[in-house]
Amino acid sequence: MTEPTRSAPPLSPENEAVIQLTRKDFVSDQEVRWCPGCGDYSILAQTQKIMPDFGYPKEKIVFISGIGCSGRLPYYMNTYGFHSIHGRAPTLATGLKAARPDLMVWVITGDGDALSIGGNHVLHSMRRNVDFTMVMFNNRIYGLTKGQASPTSEFGKRTKSTPLGSIDTPIMPLTVALAAEASFVARSVDTHTEHLQKTLERAGRHTGSSFVEVLQNCNIFNDGAWRDFTDREVRDDRMLVLEHGQPMIFGKDRDRGIRLRGLHPEVVQLGNGVTEDDLLVHDEQALEPYLALILSRMFWPDFPVPVGVLRAVPRPTHDQLIADQIRTAVASGGEGDLERALNSGETWTVD
């Protein structure tokens, strides 16, 4: 089974113009106001870069965000944009997409916005398979409120709000997305620009709920949060780049891999009787997300950190299902007649 893609918008004179669009067309006139050195700049740049590739005219694209540093992104996109309130961007996107299936909708959020105050909406928008792409900037800290622990902060993390260390176990965003039945789940890194572009583009093309965790650096309040495995010198040895249909091999020398022992993954050295045939082969299209769940739990330092698409499966979207029910109702009972609705039930006439 192949992954469904949102059908390209119908060709029109305006679409001719779409083909000519470049990154610059998606840059708004607003001055970008993130801290210098923030990972958000790269995410914004890659997002703007891939926008022309989808074939949507600017006016058909909407970026919706919540609160947090990530929430500012819509201001910088020269599309329609809605900077909403803390955690609630998925709810606005759900209503917008239900009312306007023709639009391409992006939800921009962060680890606090999506997994703390807005956790409920992530859960339910994903299970409904609302056709939007959610990009979650994960910097393991509350940046805009100046450095409190977030739901992805490490256990024991010392922050302004946890001077003796956080006593909350962090949650794994990708596990949450998978548990919520997200039909597309992926991870990338702010500084790995090519991979990030590719991942965002795949997410944008997926029809249904796409969840992309972007490991992002907050150089002010949590600098180097991911450095241990994302830095250029170590990334090949400490990250696992997922490729559909390929064995899970990693390492500068591509000499290590992931093998399953019982229900547990393990890192193995290739050679000495261990071959590629012993390794797990990535299948992002598996209908049941067992493999994706295993991958979502693998993390540095116990494992190389998987990046790429963990899951991409077809499923009817929320707006399609709504439209189907309306079509069915019309097919069985005809178009609604207001006069008949007003006069329904028992009526009587007074002369």
Nearer to other proteins, 164 or 342 (CB): 342
Tell me whether residue 76 or residue 303 sits nearer to other proteins (CB atom). 76
Neighbouring CB atoms inside 10 A of 25's CB total 16
Q: How far apart are CA 140 and CA 153, in angstroms?
A: 5
Which of 74/112 has CB closer to other proteins? 74
Q: Strand, helix or coil at 256?
A: strand
Kindly report the number of other CB atoms within 10 A of residue 113's CB atom: 33
Residues that bind other proteins (CB under 8 A): 14, 28, 30, 57-60, 62, 64-65, 74-75, 77-85, 88, 90-100, 102-103, 120-121, 123-124, 322, 325-326, 328-330, 333-336, 338-339, 341-351
Report the relative pairing of strands 249-250 and 239-241 from DSSP bridges.
unpaired
Min dist. Cβ of residue 249 to other proteins (A): 41
- Whichever of 83 and 198 has its CB closer to other proteins, that residue is 83
Question: Taking CA 257 as the corner, what is the angle to CA 252 and CA 261, rounded to the nearest 5 degrees?
Answer: 160
* Residue 139 in tokens: 């910097």
Sign of CA dihedral 27, 40, 198, 119: negative
Minimum Å gap between C-beta 288 and other proteins is 24
Q: Smallest gap, in angstroms, from Cβ of residue 264 to other proteins?
A: 34
Q: Toward other proteins, which CB reaches closer, 246 or 328?
A: 328
19: which residues sit within 8 A by CB, 6+ positions away? 52, 55
Least CB distance to other proteins at residue 34 (A): 14
Q: Looking at the DSSP assignment, which residues form a beta bridge with residue 10?
A: none
Q: Considering beta carbons, is residue 17 or 287 the nearer one to other proteins? A: 17
Task: Report residue 271 as tokens.
Answer: 């050679």
Secondary structure class of 23 (helix, strand, coil): helix
- Least distance CB 318 / other proteins (angstroms): 9
Nearest to 70 by CA among 83, 59, 80: 83
Measured from the CB atom, the residue of 120 and 246 that comes closer to other proteins is: 120
Q: Which is nearer to other proteins, 121 or 235 (CB)?
A: 121
Query: Residue 312 CB, nearest distance to other proteins (Å)?
Result: 25
Exposed/middle/buried for residue 277 (C-beta within 10 Å: 0-12, 13-18, 19+): exposed
Contacts of 307 (CB under 8 A, 6+ apart): 186, 187, 188, 189, 192, 195, 199, 239, 240, 241, 242
Nearest approach, Cβ of 201 to other proteins (angstroms)? 21
Q: In the complex, what is the shortest distance from the CB of residue 344 to other proteins, in angstroms, rounded to a whole number?
A: 8
Strands 249-250, 256-261: pairing is antiparallel
Q: How far is 220 from 215, CA to CA, in rounded Å?
A: 15
Report which DSSP code applies to 115: I
